[in-house]
Structure 1
Amino acid sequence: MSEAHVGHGAVRSEPSPAEEPARSDTTLVVVTGVSGGGRSTVARALENVNFYVVDNLPQALMLDMAELAFQAGGAARNTAMVLDVRSRAFSTDLAGAIRALKERGFQPRVVFVDADDEVLIRRFESVRRSHPLQGDGRLADGIAVERGLLEEAREQADVIIDTSHLNVNQLRSRVEELFGGEDARRIKVTVLSFGFKYGLPPDADFVLDARFLPNPYWVPELREHTGREEEVSRYVLGQHGAVTFVETYARLINATAPGFEREGKRYLTVAVGCTGGKHRSVAIAEELAARLRQVRLSANAQHRDLGRE
């Protein structure tokens, strides 16, 4: 076999194996979850942050799709695969499919979208659609069947996004913050404020209770304002124990983050609650997220129940 020569007899060498990209350099996101949970919104949000999205992909083709993305390079290096239980090729062995990807050298991240049953029922009824698995039964029957099929997939998820109290814009913002621009290998912390009277966030890893602080709701000039506004934030953080509370949890999260990263956890949700999710929890969540960013953690504050009152 002849070799091509360049200049004065210099031989053009082939790239060494060390210079070739690794499969782990391909960012793979696997999106699944309950029907009506928001998979389509997640897919559009990933497209917004320059992912190549393959919708309704049969699970049997995941490895082939990953190889195509790796070989194509370029824009395909960020690829999302959306799995739909309605596909006849869908299998409940998501763990096996993910294991096969890892054995091939990929590092997939699994996103599972979920919502409360009553929320799913309202969503289906609002668009006058039947559940894809309900058959001749009720909506609730289809939801129950699907939950059974997806039980293992939920257990394998790297991040679970409960969309029960999220609108389309909030869900899109959450996905874009998780996958847009920053180093995807670093743990990402969402500090989520909420109101206890609306229920605990089911996707919380830590739950913090800010109800020990005086409630600005009972201060007439603060009642109509929120914890994102300076006068409310100053009032909340000025109470005895408030700053110590934030500092203590900031140290705890900063101390445990490296361990979570070593164990492969990439997304951490810290929920901060007060009675209504308007004043104390919002101010504490904003301050805690700021403190975490100061120690170089990727953290953002979100407010589940702000505006519900």
Structure 2
Amino acid sequence: MDSWTAEDMPDLHGRLAVVTGATGGIGRVTARELARAGAEVVVTGRDPGRARRAAEEVAGEVPGARVRPDLLDLADLAGMTGFAHRMEHGDRPLDVLVNNAGVMAVPERRTTKDGFEYTMGVNHLGHYALTGRLLPLLLRAPDPRVVTVSAAIARSPMAELSDLQSARSYHPMAAYAKSKLANVLFALELQRRADAAGATLTSVAVHPGGSATGLQRYAPRPLRFLARVALEPLVGHDVAEAALPSLYAATAAGVQPGGFYGPTGRFEQRGGPGPVELPAQTADPDLGLRLWEASEALTHVAYRWPRR
């Protein structure tokens, strides 16, 4: 069977999608291709100018695209609530939420506006809170999907959550690894809770494989150079191909709720999208439950499910 491509997406006219971190890299490609398939897409970013330019670029590349920018800073819970209120005022069901934004290898321990360690705050806690804020709109859609972008490093021994916010010890890549494990655990626990509530919602995690994207901006210059000249051409794939797992999970028929999707080629660094192995740590459902409870306590965002 030929590899799945963006051209295989179904017609998305009448659907509404939100893509976080859509001002560049994988997020921008994801927004563009969803728009190309007919969806109305909200391009979000923490910089309003960059979000506006990204939306304009997508509109220029896709004739007839319905795309609009909006401000969304995942390091600011109050601003996130404002974004959710603007979405609610639009009075439209939300069909697709792609939790794509992220940071990697922040060189020193920083905190968000709400005092969370920055990597965990943006990559996991921000998306946990955003999804909870948008849950009522998602549940109004006939077949809503939440796609949370993780990374293969979620399988690393560094990915352990005993020191969730790296308060005892901070290492840039360890902080990133644990946030990426948190992404997968969140996606699985969200599916378990949706199923328990009898809600129609598909939650999956994806990883993009190897690609030189904006995530590398905090890395030392030699590593950024290495990623650009070696990671993508020799081992990984380009940004358009790296976006395919997200697009597949968001739109393809047969996507399994609670699944993990990524490139299916050598070492999962490139190749067409498909199911991939979950991190071993996810075999313990109590770990996902404890992370969820900690996330709720930290963000004060409780998910409200419909009564059965």
Q: For this structure pair, what is the TM-score category when the shorter chain's length is used for normalisation?
A: 0.3 to 0.5
Q: TM-score, normalised by structure 1?
A: 0.33
- Structure with bigger helix share is 2
